[in-house]
């Protein structure tokens, strides 16, 4: 997307060189991986997380839970048998995609997941007030 004012980026560089350097540093040194879109709905006693993962096989999607952090990983591999083709344009992407979420207030033992028509759905039950959130710490 281009701005309305021509040469605005060049003008911004001279007006505030530190801001331009910070932007350059963010773009150069961050290692953001490609991601996918999600929706999170509050259904009262649970959260429903829907992730758009079209074109993935169920076997290529992994959901990991570690230290109250839920991570969804999906990997699209290129076809192993590459045939010589005369592509005019090829826009298929291959690689790994990852999103992580904190699980504060979620009953991690009862999370369920399903995958259908390119949409991964996770049901994240909320902890009830009857479940204690305290634990005893041993003295050594």
CB neighbours of residue 74 within 10 Å: 21
pLDDT band at 5 (very low <50, low <70, confident <90, very high): very low
pLDDT in tens, 92-110: 777 888 999 888 889 999 9
* Same-domain pairing of 48 and 82: yes
The answer to whether residue 139 is domain-embedded is no
pTM over cut 0.75: no
Average pLDDT, rounded, for the chain: 78
The answer to whether residue 19 is domain-embedded is yes
* Same-domain pairing of 43 and 103: yes
The answer to whether residue 136 is domain-embedded is no
Residues 6+ apart with CB under 8 A from 98: 33, 35, 71, 72, 73, 74
Residues 6+ apart with CB under 8 A from 37: 51, 52
State residue 2's pLDDT score: 38
């Amino acid at each position: 997307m281009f701005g309305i004012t021509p040469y605005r980026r060049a003008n911004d560089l001279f007006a505030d060189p530190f801001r331009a350097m910070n932007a350059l540093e963010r773009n150069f040194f961050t290692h953001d991986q490609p991601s996918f879109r999600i929706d999170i709905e509050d259904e009262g006693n649970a959260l429903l997380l829907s992730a758009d993962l079209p074109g993935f096989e169920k076997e290529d999607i992994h959901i990991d839970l570690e230290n109250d952090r839920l991570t969804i990983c999906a990997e699209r591999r290129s076809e192993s048998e590459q045939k010589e083709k005369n592509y005019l344009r090829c826009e298929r992407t291959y690689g790994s995609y990852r999103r992580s979420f904190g699980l504060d207030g979620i009953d991690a033992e009862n999370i369920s997941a399903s995958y259908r028509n390119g949409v991964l759905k996770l049901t994240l039950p909320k902890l009830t007030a009857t479940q204690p959130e305290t634990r005893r710490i041993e003295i050594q």
